[in-house]
Structure 1
Amino acid sequence: MLIVLPPSETKRDGGEGAPLDFAALSHPGLTRARRQLVRRVRALARTPDEMMARLKLGPKLAFEVERNRALVTAPTMAAMDRYTGVLYEALDAPSLDPAARAFAAEHVRIHSALFGLLGAGDPIPAYRLSSSTRLDGDSLKATWSAAVSKEFAAHRGELVLDLRSESYVALGPIPPTTPSYFLRVVTTGADGVQRALNHFNKHGKGALVRAIAEHGEDFADIDALHTWARASGHRLSVAPNGELLLEV
């Protein structure tokens, strides 16, 4: 199975890994696009005011420009540790035991605007780029959509849980030939109506991924996932439109 996460705008600084090595990243079919985007982002970082405007950053976040300028020289750390924010705080990858981290490295993907699909254990530097950032040349959608979809197509025999936001889904739709479920976090109000969540949407996703990693089972299909979910207290169901609902 694959679990596909969105990235986070915020990232931990530093790292103890060697500088960026494209050969160390999962999905080598994306290497050419990665190299091109890194060059484009570094070039734009040479004009700090323009990069801040493209990234919609205020003065307090000027350090993000330097991160982008230093993409190929900065230290790296595992992607699952690099990203922060609500989802990644709930996942809390640094505190996972070795077996759970190994499971995450094999089965969790993070869809980065800069690197495309990453394995959770892939070593990456800190950077700033979002799905909506406008760079010179091709759009991020044009860069990633077909290439990332092709990577998903190679996993057509696996269960795929898509926990991305809609903006990242647009940067790499999962082909119909790959059995996938878009996950939405919901709650049921006093009126009995289910409603999607915002803040707790991210927390619920992170907590679910942590629980799956700690359990360590490569679920063959949605029925196997449901069997585990019922036994472990996670309320999962498939909606009429085919989405996977997590009720919190």
Structure 2
Amino acid sequence: MRILLPPSETKRDGGADAPLALTTLSFPTLSAAREQTLAALDELSVDGEAMMRALKLGPRQAAEVDRNRELPSAPTMAAIDRYTGVLFDALDAPSLDAAAREFAGRTVVVHSALLGLVGALDPVPAYRLSHDSKLPGLRLKAHWRAPIAEVLGREPGLIIDLRSEGYAELGPAPVRPGSVYVRVVSVDGTGRKRALNHFNKQAKGRFTRAVLEARPELGTLDEMLDWALAAGFSMQLGEERGAASPREVELVA
């Protein structure tokens, strides 16, 4: 089983681990692509104003430029601890016990625009780069889509894709039984469904934390739906969107 999470724009400062070394990251076949994004970001770092435009930063976010410039020597920490924001606040990884963190290391993957897929416990620095950022000579969607799709296509078992659509486009999960895309919805009094934003992220964080605490061995879509119901989550099959799209599951928040 793999749980795919989006990253967040915001990240925790600091870290006690050594600077980034690509050899410490999961999915080593992505190393060459990682080197290219790091080099492109380093090139962009020469011009602070150009970087702010490329990353769509406002004046109060100028410190993000310094973060990117200091990337080669910056300390690292586990990816699941590095990211903050609504989803990761609900997940609250630092408060997980050792068994839950070990399970996260085996199952949870965060999709970084800078580094591609990283394991939950992979040591990563603080940085600023989004799925729609513009790097010199490098289009992120074209750059990451095939390598990440190849990695995910080799993953056996259940894939639970909790990424935003922007990151799913950056590297689609395989379209096969056992690969599902989770969409968070709300249902009003008339039964009408609508997608959520803030509570979408919160629901995904709560769901991921519940999986890590319970540590179920889920191998199929049916097993996931049964476990979710027993764990108190309202989760059901969504509309089928054709043979070229992954099976969608709706998580009702």
Q: Same fold (TM over 0.5)?
A: yes
Alpha-carbon distance between aligned partners in 2 of 1:218 and 1:69, rounded to the nearest angstrom? 41
| Post-superposition CA distance 1:22-79 (Å, at most 9, x none) | 0000000000111111111012111101101111111211111111111110000000
Match of 2:106, as an amino acid? E
User: Contact (CA 8 Å) 2:68, 2:127: kept in 1 or not?
Assistant: yes
> Which residue among 240, 249, 252 is the counterpart of 1:244?
249
Bigger shift: residues 231-240 or 75-84: 231-240
Describe the SS at the equivalent of 1:68: helix
Aligned length: 247
Q: Which residue of 1 aligns with 2:134?
A: 134
Worse-matched range after superposition: 82-91 or 191-200: 191-200
Unaligned runs of 5+ in 1: none
Equivalent pair of 1:188/1:195 in contact (CA under 8 Å): yes
Amino acid at match of 2:19: P
Structure-1 separation of matches of 2:9 and 2:43: 20
CA–CA distance in 1 between the matches of 2:31 and 2:71? 15
Shift of 1:175: 2.3
Contact 1:26 1:118 in 2 (8 A): yes
Residue in 1 that maps onto 2:172:
173
- Match of residue 92 from structure 1: 92
> Unaligned regions of 5+ residues in structure 2, if any?
241-246
Q: 2-side partners of 1:197 and 1:85: how far apart?
A: 16
Query: Which digits, 9 at most, give the CA deviation of each residue in 1:77-108, with x for residues without a partner?
Result: 00000001000000000000000011111100
1:120 correspondence with 2:120:
yes
1:185 is aligned to 2:190: no
| Cα distance in structure 1, aligned partners of 2:56 and 2:118 | 25
CA distance in 1, matches of 2:228, 2:40: 43
Runs of 4+, deviation exceeding 4 Å: none
State the alpha-carbon separation in 1 of the partners of residues 30 and 178 from structure 2. Answer: 22
Task: Check 1:138–1:98 CA distance in 2 against 1; reply closer, same or farther (3 A cut).
Answer: same
Structure 1 length as normaliser, TM-score? 0.97
Q: Distance in 2 between matches of 1:21 and 1:47?
A: 25
- Assess if the C-alpha contact under 8 Å between 2:77 and 2:124 holds in 1: yes
User: SS at 1:16's partner residue?
Assistant: coil
Per the alignment, residue 244 of structure 2 pairs with none
